[in-house]
């Protein structure tokens, strides 16, 4: 059977695969487009499984707010390289998924993967197709929803850092400023007293060991350590941090002057906590030359 350009075009539109891949798929099925699509989906699943073990520590952060501004979604989707993270197909996928997160309020990755996108595919099927098309491991890493009866602030930096904050009052400008501060300063908790005892003890042990070398009396060392612990708690807690736009006041002081409270916040940074693979280029070339993978 002659494989026409129109048939190849239709298969490309329905699968998003490359022209030669579509032509070969049609040749293998004697022009049967439905069987070709089925075979390509199976092949895509195989390719996705093969690439699943590769480290995906690049990607992008998406944020979207509801039309009334009272619900916000944040999403991280990872790729292996920054090049793919900037690809238009990757962006379309992440935008489709964030729309779904906001509409469904589903944030658990496995449950989200089983939901259906507008194109009639599940999120997981669309992800596998994208892996096949772009040739990299692509993973939905995490998502979150924030709601507020006051104001929601959002801020993204280069699509790599995203922050959401919920305020108790409808001060949109203040919410935006605090979201920007969260993106820049990376607070771990809301208040100093929220810092876990485990983390405090770790820092205390370090400070005690450092202070012991000073040769000062134990009672002085104890005061020094407590002072450093209090400073540490304020540094990692949003309320204790100095406001990035005005370091002369803390976030707690800024909120008090506005008679507002932060009820919740979320900050995502692309690849944080993922161990990146550092490849020896010369070793990789030698492996390929010797027939390795």
In terms of Cβ atoms closer than 10 Å to its own Cβ (0-12, 13-18, 19+), residue 185 is middle
Both tokens of 123, joined, read: 């999120």
Strand partners, 79: 58
With left for phi above 0 and alpha for psi between -120 and 50, is residue 292 left, alpha or beta?
Answer: beta
Per the DSSP assignment, residues forming a β-bridge with 156 are 162
Residue ranges of E strands in the chain: 58-65, 71-79, 139-147, 151-157, 161-167, 242-243, 246-250, 262-269
**What six digits make up the tokens of 182?**
């969260």
What is the reported pLDDT for 242?
Answer: 97
Instruction: Please tell me the predicted confidence (pLDDT) of residue 283.
Output: 58
- The model carries a pTM of 0.76
Residues in a beta bridge with 195? none
What is the reported pLDDT for 188? 96
- List where CATH 1.10.8.10 sits in the chain: 5-51
Contacts within 8 Å (CB) and 24+ apart, 172-175? 172/69, 174/254, 174/255, 174/258, 174/260, 175/150, 175/151
Q: List the structure tokens of 282.
A: 């010369």
CATH 3.30.479.20 segments of the chain: 53-147
The architecture that CATH gives domain 5-51 is Orthogonal Bundle (1.10)
The closest of 129, 101, 105, 124 to 113, measured between CA atoms, is: 124
CA–CA gap between residue 74 and residue 161 (Å, rounded): 10
CATH architecture of 53-147: 2-Layer Sandwich (3.30)
Task: Look at residue 32 and give its three-state secondary structure.
Answer: coil
pLDDT 10s digit of each residue in the chain, 293 long? 788 888 888 887 676 666 777 888 899 899 898 888 777 766 664 444 455 557 678 999 999 999 999 999 999 999 999 999 999 999 999 999 999 999 999 999 999 999 999 778 899 999 999 998 898 899 999 999 999 999 999 999 999 999 999 999 999 999 999 999 999 999 999 999 999 999 999 988 888 888 877 778 888 888 888 999 999 999 999 999 999 999 999 999 999 999 999 999 999 999 998 766 544 545 554 555 555 44
| Rounded alpha-carbon distances, angstroms, from residue 75 to 33, 102, 148, 246 | 35, 10, 18, 29
């Amino acid at each position: 059977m002659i494989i026409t350009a129109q048939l190849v075009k239709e298969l490309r539109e329905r699968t998003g695969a490359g022209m030669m891949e579509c032509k070969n798929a049609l040749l293998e099925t004697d022009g049967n487009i439905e069987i070709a699509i089925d075979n390509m989906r199976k092949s895509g699943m195989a390719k996705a499984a093969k690439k699943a073990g590769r480290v995906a520590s690049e990607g992008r952060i998406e944020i979207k707010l509801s039309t009334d501004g009272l619900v916000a979604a944040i999403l991280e989707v990872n790729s292996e390289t920054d090049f793919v993270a900037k690809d238009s197909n990757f962006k379309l996928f992440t935008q489709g998924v964030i729309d779904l997160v906001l509409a469904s309020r589903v944030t658990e990755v496995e449950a989200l993967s089983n939901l259906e996108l507008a194109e009639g595919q599940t999120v997981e099927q669309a992800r596998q197709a994208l892996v096949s098309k772009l040739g990299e491991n692509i993973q939905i890493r995490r998502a979150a929803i924030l709601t507020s009866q006051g104001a929601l602030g959002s801020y993204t930096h280069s699509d790599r850092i995203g922050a959401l904050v919920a305020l108790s009052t409808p001060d949109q400008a203040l919410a935006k400023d605090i979201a920007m501060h969260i993106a820049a300063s990376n607070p771990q908790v809301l208040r100093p007293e929220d810092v876990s005892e485990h983390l405090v003890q770790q820092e205390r042990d370090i400070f005690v060991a450092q202070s012991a070398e000073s040769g000062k009396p134990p009672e002085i060392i104890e005061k020094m350590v407590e002072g450093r612990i209090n400073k540490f708690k304020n540094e990692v807690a949003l309320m204790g941090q100095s406001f990035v736009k005005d370091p002369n006041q803390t976030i707690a002081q800024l909120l008090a002057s506005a008679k507002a409270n932060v009820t919740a916040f979320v900050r995502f940074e692309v690849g944080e906590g993922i161990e990146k693979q550092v490849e020896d280029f010369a070793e990789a070339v030698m492996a390929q030359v010797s027939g390795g993978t």
